[in-house]
Structures are given as C-alpha cells and as structure tokens.
Amino acid sequence: MKTNIRLDERVTAEVFDLAARYLEFDDANFNKHVAFLNLNPKTDFRFADLAGVDFSDADIQGFDFTGADLRGATGVNVHWDQTTILKGADTSDSLFAYRIDRDRFLAEKSCGSKAD
C-alpha cells in the first residue's frame, strides 16, 4: 500500500526547531553536544555511528557505547573508566584501542602468571 505522507507530517515542528538551533550551536565539546540535544548517555549511544568523533576534554564515564562504531575516534584529556561500556564496540584506530589492548594484555598476563 502506498501512502502519501508529507515531510511535515513525519517530522514535527519541534524537530525542525531543534535542527535549526543545532546548526547554529558553536561548541566542539562532546558533552556539551550531548547536553544540548538532551541525549541519554546510558541509552542513546548504543550502536551509534561515532566514527571519527573528537572526544577531547570530554567526560564519558557512565556512557554506554555497546556495539558503537568508534573507529578513528580521537581526543585528548578524555575521562573514562570502568563505567564506560564498550562491549562489542569497534574501537579500531581510536583513542580507546591502546588502553583496551593494554588492559587485555595485562589481564592475560595476570591469568597466565597465576596458573604458572
């Protein structure tokens, strides 16, 4: 069945207003974008395409990036810890890759040394 729905019936005036305001938003900080868009760190970044995002000066503790595409993500002075969920995320060539690999290596070494 073919429907003839106009764009303004699919996208509300509030969404158009938010988009217009966001286009004028002039701040590079990831956390400020999250706050401006009223996004939920625990749900809105699961399986998100965040490839190449700059997380500089961001606090991403408590964010859930399960299954997200974080390839090539960059940043300096990024605060994240064990509450930052990266399960199944693609972190190739990103700021996360080194620490994840290091932690995995140390965990394997720790397990290996206990067995010896």
Per-residue pLDDT of the chain (116 residues; tens, 9 = 90+): 556 666 556 788 888 888 888 888 888 999 999 999 999 999 999 999 999 999 999 999 999 999 999 999 999 999 999 999 999 999 999 999 988 888 888 888 888 655 44
Q: What is the topology classification, in CATH, of domain 7-115?
A: Pectate Lyase C-like (2.160.20)
**Domain segments of the chain as ranges:** 7-115
Tokens of 83: 């509450």
CA 9 remoteness from chain centre: 30
Listed in sequence order, the DSSP H helices in the chain are: 7-10, 13-24, 30-36, 95-115
